[in-house]
Structure 1
Amino acid sequence: MSELIAGSFLAPDELKLLQLGGALSRCDCRGVVLYLCGELGMGKTTFSRGVITGFGHRGAVKSPTYTLVEPYEFSGVDVYHFDLYRLGDPEELEYMGIRDYFTPRSLCLIEWPVRGQGVLQRADIELTLNLAGMGRELVWRALSERGAALARAWSDLI
């Protein structure tokens, strides 16, 4: 996958990580697949929580580690939060009907996408969270025209 544009954001604390996710929710995210990469404890679920609460969800946002996916429906967009950490074999995604989640009105947030290689739809944006002092650095790469448009809009809000 070749990147079209790339950049990074710093999140010195959890609040900023939530705010960065919230800013993404103020952009047109429909039809986007976003891969969330990084080691355990880097904040992938926290970032996802920021996106989901940014759309207006008021309940708990739990990691779908055991269920593989948690759906959230909003006016105009469906958000699917995947956590593939415990996925045994990428073929399991076929049995759960993974392709049905990738629609023109969905935003798919996928933690641990490497575990679904060969079955997952290509990412529009790949976001990697790394340790940066006590905070995190979010390094993103837009991998499609749709991802590049979203990245530009998101960057304008930061």
Structure 2
Amino acid sequence: MTHDTLTLTLPDEEATTRLAERFAPLLTGQAPGMGPGGRIHLHGDLGAGKTHFVRALLRACGVAGRIKSPSYALLESYKVSSLYFYHLDFYRFSDSREWVDAGFRDILQDNAVVLIEWPEKAGNLLPPPDLDLHLDYCGDGRLATLDAHSAKGTLWITTLAPSQQK
């Protein structure tokens, strides 16, 4: 199993937005050598920026209109061209099997973009993502730690890393 890590300092909300915008071509297949789709699990305390990152990413991928948080609905889905985007939030789950009982296993396709907030609420029932994104408070900003768990996740980190080291 692949496990590469990249840690970035995000001094403000705009830096989180820029990181999300840099992910967009990687997930939509517009970056050279990248196919569309992928799974990202988002971790962090309440207010750490998980939903902000997802909204900025969806906007950068071409989602128009209102982008709602799936906190109560559990799932919000979008389609841009022929690519499906699924934004899930497991925060309100009290049992790790709730996501399976809700029928979400069917959307975990390699050719879709699947973004899951609070994946730890599903216990070990979720398959590993391509990438874990941890957002932790760091002063007024955030510390973003990206952990790859697949060849695709490693390629994303490799692609993102050089321009972060300016």
TM-score (norm 2): 0.86
For residue 149 of structure 1, what is the aligned residue in structure 2? Answer: 155
Identical-residue share of aligned pairs (%): 31
Separation (CA, whole Å) in 2 of partners of 1:77 and 1:117? 28
For residue 21 of structure 1, what is the aligned residue in structure 2? Answer: 20
Q: Deviations over 1:39-91 (max 9, x none)?
A: 11100000001110011122222210111111111124211111110012122
Q: Which runs of 5+ in 1 are unaligned?
A: none
The offset of 1:28, in angstroms, is 3.6
Q: Deviations over 1:86-133 (max 9, x none)?
A: 012122212221121111211111110100123222111111001111
Separation (CA, whole Å) in 1 of partners of 2:126 and 2:51? 19
Contact 1:31 1:102 in 2 (8 A): no
The offset of 1:156, in angstroms, is 4.7
Separation (CA, whole Å) in 1 of partners of 2:116 and 2:88? 5
For residue 81 of structure 1, what is the aligned residue in structure 2? Answer: 87
Separation (CA, whole Å) in 1 of partners of 2:82 and 2:156? 16
Cα RMSD after superposing both structures: 1.7
Closer, same or farther in 2 for the Cα pair 1:101/1:60, shift >3 Å? same
Amino acid at match of 2:22: A
For residue 33 of structure 1, what is the aligned residue in structure 2? Answer: 39
Separation (CA, whole Å) in 1 of partners of 2:157 and 2:81? 22
For residue 91 of structure 1, what is the aligned residue in structure 2? Answer: 97
TM-score (norm 1): 0.90
Deviation >2 Å, runs of 4+: 28-31, 153-158
Number of residues paired by the alignment?
157
Separation (CA, whole Å) in 1 of partners of 2:25 and 2:19? 10
